[in-house]
């Protein structure tokens, strides 16, 4: 049974906090968490704040393709919130990294997190506000 992980990072969030203040930043975190909660709702799915401006979502019995579809829903809905970020002359967006594996006894627990994190960094390299799926051949 595949297990997928989505890492979500708010683009330019430090700049947003510096511009609008931490109270506005906290409200933005709450609004984005509500979007994630609205998308991650099947039995066996779980989402949490991972630290700072990052969130993670764990999807049971979900392939990389299925997780990428879910991640794109999150990305689109966050962008549609229309939270202004005048410093970047755009709205607040998120970048998402997706990884999926079929766990086995040889797998280290952090391997899925590391793969999703690498995909997230690729999403940021590709210009932010997008979803990138980690492919094992990228290693």
CB 1 within 8 A of CB 61: yes
Kindly report the three-state secondary structure assignment for every residue of 35-65.
HHHHHCCCCCEEEEEEECCEEEEEEECCCHH
**Residues with active-site annotation:** 53
* Spatial contact of 29 and 49, defined as CB atoms under 8 Å apart: yes
């Amino acid at each position: 049974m595949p297990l997928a992980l989505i890492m979500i990072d708010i683009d330019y969030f430090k700049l947003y906090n510096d511009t609008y203040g931490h109270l506005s930043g906290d409200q933005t975190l709450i609004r984005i968490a509500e979007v994630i909660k609205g998308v991650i709702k099947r039995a066996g799915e779980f989402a949490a704040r991972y630290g700072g401006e990052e969130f993670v979502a764990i999807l049971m019995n979900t392939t990389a393709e299925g997780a990428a579809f879910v991640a794109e829903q999150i990305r689109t809905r966050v962008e549609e919130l229309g939270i202004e970020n005048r410093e970047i002359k755009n709205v607040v967006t998120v970048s998402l990294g997706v990884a999926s594996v079929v766990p086995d006894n040889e797998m280290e627990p952090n391997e899925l997190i590391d793969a999703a994190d690498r995909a997230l960094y690729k999403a940021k390299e590709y210009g932010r506000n997008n979803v990138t799926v980690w492919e094992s051949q990228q290693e």
